[in-house]
Structure formats: structure tokens, C-alpha cells
Chains A and B, each alone.
Chain A
Amino acid sequence: MSADFLYGIEVILNGLMAGVLYALVALGFVLIFKASGIFNYAQGVMALFAALTLVGIMEGQVPFSHIINAIFGTKIHHFGWHVPALLAIFLTLCVMVAFAWAVQKFVFRHLVGQEPIILFMATIGLAYFLEGMGDLMWGSDIKTLKVGLPQGGSRWIEDMTSGLGGNDFYGFFIDKLDMVATVVAAILVMSLIAFAQYSKQGRAMRAVADDHQAALSVGISLNFIWVLVWSLAGLVALVAGVMWGAKSGVQFSLSLIALKALPVLMLGGFTSIPGAIVGGLIIGVGEKLFEYTIGGMIGGATENWFAYVLALIFLVFRPQGLFGEKIIERV
């Protein structure tokens, strides 16, 4: 096997693993969009907020310490304890569920029946509110997230594969964190699909996604389902936030990963869970492969725009995405 071919495989593997993370963020969008028709611009900020909260809880940071100190003239910043990672993750999840409930109670309950654009604007407001809230609660400095995930390239894989393509090839470089992220994301996605498919609440979720009126008539409370999907989106955001945070530190640019989810959704379709996954993988592999094969010829840095151009092409030729429902209006 030639070295070039093997490098190609390495690029694809890395692309797949990046794609899993894109898919994870896109999944949060799909969950909410399906059940309530709301395009949740705040999904990326939810990931940021979840990661900030997780770090804050683990480090024993005092929330709103800046305000407290300013008002009372104190100088407290830390409780002085450290919370173990698993407990902190659980507590963060509780915060995300509380957030889901509050969003439903104070925002979207009052906007039932409004135009989609109004709902969308509300989520933009929500995004900035949440970003400010994260800043206020936990401070704006870049934090490192140490939940015990492995870091760096896997020596084992590198050693195993080096020399496969002759002396030019030094073995696959695969990030251990990427591997963990892939496994976690895969488990999360499979359990979400199983939950939606086989549980009673999952069935109710699909029912609400399909027809509100009919769902009401069989005794489903729309409010409960909406809180549930926002909570699930919060869970997805937490996982995405942990993975990205562990990779590149918890910083406010984290919320921008939501933008990468947009082309993923256009590819996969806004209403399809498998679509979000396949779309994420295609974009992940596509942008890495494009950079590897063609990027060099046209000056590189194609990863910044490749996904959006691909999405644009899809919008022209297949606006409903790969798996989305084709909408045919009868006249």
C-alpha cells in the first residue's frame, strides 16, 4: 500500500471523528425542531453553558461571585472543594433540565401559535441571555476541563501501523480524545434513538412531532413533551460541550460550533435524527478530505468554508436534505 493511500485513510478516520461531534450538535437542533418547530439558535450556547457549569461545579467556583463581591465587598471565589467528575456531570444535567423547564415556562409557553420567525428570534434572545448568564455566573476566562478523558495521540495505534506503507509512513495519528468522543457520541445517539422508538415518552415525542392536535386528543401534554425535548437537547449539549471543551478548553468561541451544525442540518434534513448523524459524518470527512486532496492547490484553509459551500449546493438541488421530509403543498 502506498503511503499516500494510507494518509488518505487517516484523513477519513479523523474526519469521521470530527463529524461525530458535528452530528452531536446537530442532533440537539433536530430534537427540538421536530417536536416544536422551533429552530433553536441557542443550541451552541447551551453547549458552552453546560461546559462552563460543569467546570464551575467541579472546581467549586462560587456562582455570581463577581456580583456578590461587588455588592458585599467580599473576596470569595471558591468554596474550596472539588466535586468528582461524575457527580458534577449529574449536577450539570440537573441544571440543564431546570433550564429546559424555565425556557418552557417563561418563554415558549407564551409564544404558542406564533410565527416560526418569532420563535426563532426568541431563541436568538435566549442565546445571548444564556451567554451573558454564563459569563456572569462563572466568569469569562478560558478554563480547562479535566474530566479524566485521555489526551494526545494513541501511541499504540501509531506503533501498530507504522511501516505499513514503507519507510515514508509513520503510522496513523489518532487522537485518544477523539476516539472516546466517538464512542460516547455513538452510545448517546443509539440510546436516544432507542428511547424515541420504544419508550412511552419517546412515542409521545414522536406523536407531538407529527400532529399536535392528535397528540392532545390521546392525552399527551405538549408542555411536558417540550420540557422533555429541551432537557434532552440539554443533555446532548452537555456531552458536546464536554468533548469540545476537553479538546480546546472551555471558552466562549465554543458557542460558534453551532454554526458548523447548520450545514450539517441542511445536508441531513432538519427533521431527521439519522440525517443529523450522516450529515455530520459527510461534512466531517468531506472537509478533511477536501483539504487533504485539493486544499493544497488552492491555498489551504478550506475547512473554513467547505461545509457551507456543500450546504449551498444541497440547498439548490435538494432543499429538504438527504433524509428530510419533502414538503408538497396541495393547491
Chain B
Amino acid sequence: MKDSYITPDGRTIGGVLMDMRGITLRFGGVEAIKNISFDIREGEIRAIIGPNGAGKSSMLNVISGFYHPQDGEVWFRGAKRPTMRPYDVARQGIARTFQNIALFEGMSVLDNIMCGRLTHMKTGIFSQAIWHGAAQREEVENREAVERIIDFLEIQAIRKTPVGRLPYGLKKRVELARALAAEPKLLLLDEPMAGMNVEEKEDMSRFILDVNDEFGTTIALIEHDMGVVMDLSDRVVVMDYGRKIGDGTPDEVRGNQEVIDAYLGVAHD
């Protein structure tokens, strides 16, 4: 494959940002991921799909450092990544959302998104404790960045609301906002549209495309809704029972017999 190319809709896809090489993940005797390799290129929207229990979320957890694979290598920005704790992965510039929404329920929307900026705040605990000038400046700068994201995702009206009181669809959006606030190099979305109605799904799809378009953020997402996946993504990895059964553009994947079998079932004789 060439190093970078232009997509039909005019976006530039760069070189390899993240490279998963021969990842194997076991829980006791169960192999959740079996020797899977794939890459994520800079600026693209990469989807991971597959039936329930295929190992998609496990794969996302490997990328974000929540799980550590028994075998295989994770390469990020051209360097092999040592075994890392999730907070170090986050500090490297990989932000994520969760399938079952992990927000700080007791805090306001604004505070939640400010937490996403923590990796950008460098002042030490002593200057924070006495609210020294540098700490104050930093708070203002980061607050401005957060306000831009709030505008971008159209959640101005709820910025002071405690997250616990928000409806499901808005929570999903706040979680996206928090991940975006980190200005990640790679954004991982675990089922960003699960449990949403059609209108909410359309909103979320638009936001994902806009994020990719305006900030050039590389996005890897897991999604069940095939229509959405095919519309959004540049390339798709298909998993089934922990194996990779397909990898390519949406059109290539759609025509893959193994993928069709996995999704529709196949008659055994």
C-alpha cells in the first residue's frame, strides 16, 4: 500500500499510526483474541465489527491498555509500545469512550470535560495548591479549549448540569466531548451509537465525521449497526470468535463470503 492517499471525499489518509501485530489475548483457557494483526492509518476512520462475543471490545481494551495481551506487539507512532497502564496510554494521546458510559456522574458536564484536559495540564501540586499565576493561566487556557468542544458538540445548554441527570443520548455525547478534550491522536469509540434512536444515531454519525474532518483525528470504532459502519468508515476489520475474518474497505468486506456467513449464519451439512 502506498504511504498516503486521498479518499474519494477528499481527505488525506497518512501512514500507519497504530500497528497491532499478532495480538493474542487469553482469559484463563478462553482465547478472546487469536493472533490478530491490523493497522490504523493516520486520519482514517477504522471500524471493528463482528457478532456478539467476537472480541471487539477486548481488542479496544488492548489498544487502550486496560488488557495486556499474552502474545503480540503493539506499535504506536512507529515505536513498539511496552506494557503500559491505561493512564500512561491516555497520556500518549489515546482517548476512549466506553460501551456502558463511564462518566463522572456526580460532576457537572463542564467538570467532566475538563477532566479530559488533565493530560494537558502541567503545573505541579504546589502551584495548584496556592493557586499560583501559572496554575490560573493554565485553567483559563484549558477552559477555552473545553468551551470550543462544547460549542462543537452543541451541548452549551447543559454545561452546568450534573451528568447523572442527563438522558442516555446526551451522556454519550458528553463522553465523546471528554475524550475529544484530550485532543487525542487516536480516538477509540466503543459502540458510540448503542441504544440510540435513529435521530440520535444521525447526530452522533455527523459528529464523528466532523471530528475526523475538522481536527483530522484518527478514529477507531466498534459498532453493531452495519449501515452506520459502512457509511462512516474508510476501512473495516471483521472479527468472529476472536479471529479476524475480513479486513478492507466497506465494499470489499461486504462481498467477503466468510463475513456473510458469520453474520447470516451458514448451513452445515
Known contacts A204-B115, A206-B111, A210-B106: A216-B86 contact under CB 8 Å: yes
* CB neighbours of A228 from chain B (8 A): 125
A140 at the B interface (CB under 8 A): no
* CB neighbours of A201 from chain B (8 A): 125, 128
Q: Which has the most chain B C-beta neighbours within 10 Å: A200, A209, A217, A220?
A: A217
Task: Tell me, in angstroms, the Cα distance from A222 to B90 when the chains sit together.
Answer: 13
Chain B 84-108: CB-based contact to A (< 8 A → 1; otherwise 0):
0111101100011010001111110
Main secondary structure on chain A at its contact with chain B? helix
CB atoms of A218 and B105 under 8 A apart: no
* CB neighbours of A222 from chain B (8 A): 87
Stretch in contact with the other chain, from B116-124, B196-204, B216-224: B116-124
* CB neighbours of A210 from chain B (8 A): 104-107
CB atoms of B104 and A207 under 8 A apart: yes
Known contacts A198-B131, A207-B107: A221-B98 contact under CB 8 Å: no
Q: CB within 8 A of B135: which of A200, A220, A325?
A: A200
Main secondary structure on chain B at its contact with chain A? helix
Q: CB within 8 A of A203: which of B96, B114, B131, B135?
A: B114
Q: Which of B37-96 contact A (CB under 8 A)?
A: 64, 66, 85-88, 90-91, 95-96
Q: How far is the CB of B10 from chain A (nearest CB, A)?
A: 32
Q: How large is the interface on B (under 10, 10 to 19, 20 to 34, 35 or more residues)?
A: 35 or more
Q: How far is the CB of A292 from chain B (nearest CB, A)?
A: 39
Task: Tell me, in angstroms, the Cα distance from A207 to B106 when the chains sit together.
Answer: 9
B178 at the A interface (CB under 8 A): yes
* CB neighbours of A211 from chain B (8 A): 102-105
Q: Which of A204-235 contact B (CB under 8 A)?
A: 204, 206-207, 209-211, 213-222, 228
CB atoms of B104 and A217 under 8 A apart: no
* CB neighbours of B116 from chain A (8 A): 218
Task: Tell me, in angstroms, the Cα distance from A29 to B249 when the chains sit together.
Answer: 56
Q: How far is the CB of B237 from chain A (nearest CB, A)?
A: 22
Chain A 170-206: CB-based contact to B (< 8 A → 1; otherwise 0):
0000000000000000000000000100111111101
CB atoms of A218 and B182 under 8 A apart: yes
B129 at the A interface (CB under 8 A): yes
Residues of A within 8 A of B (CB): 195, 198-204, 206-207, 209-211, 213-222, 228, 325
Q: Could you write out 22 A-B pairs with CB less than 8 Å apart?
A: A199-B131, A200-B118, A200-B135, A203-B111, A203-B115, A204-B115, A206-B106, A210-B105, A210-B106, A211-B102, A211-B105, A213-B102, A214-B98, A216-B85, A216-B86, A217-B64, A217-B86, A218-B118, A218-B119, A219-B91, A220-B115, A228-B125
Residues of B within 8 A of A (CB): 64, 66, 85-88, 90-91, 95-96, 98, 102-107, 111, 114-116, 118-119, 121, 123, 125, 128-129, 131, 135, 138-139, 178-179, 182
**Other than the known A200-B135, A202-B128, A217-B90, what 13 A-B pairs have Cβ atoms closer than 8 Å?**
A199-B125, A200-B128, A201-B125, A203-B115, A206-B104, A206-B111, A207-B104, A213-B66, A213-B98, A214-B103, A216-B85, A219-B118, A325-B106
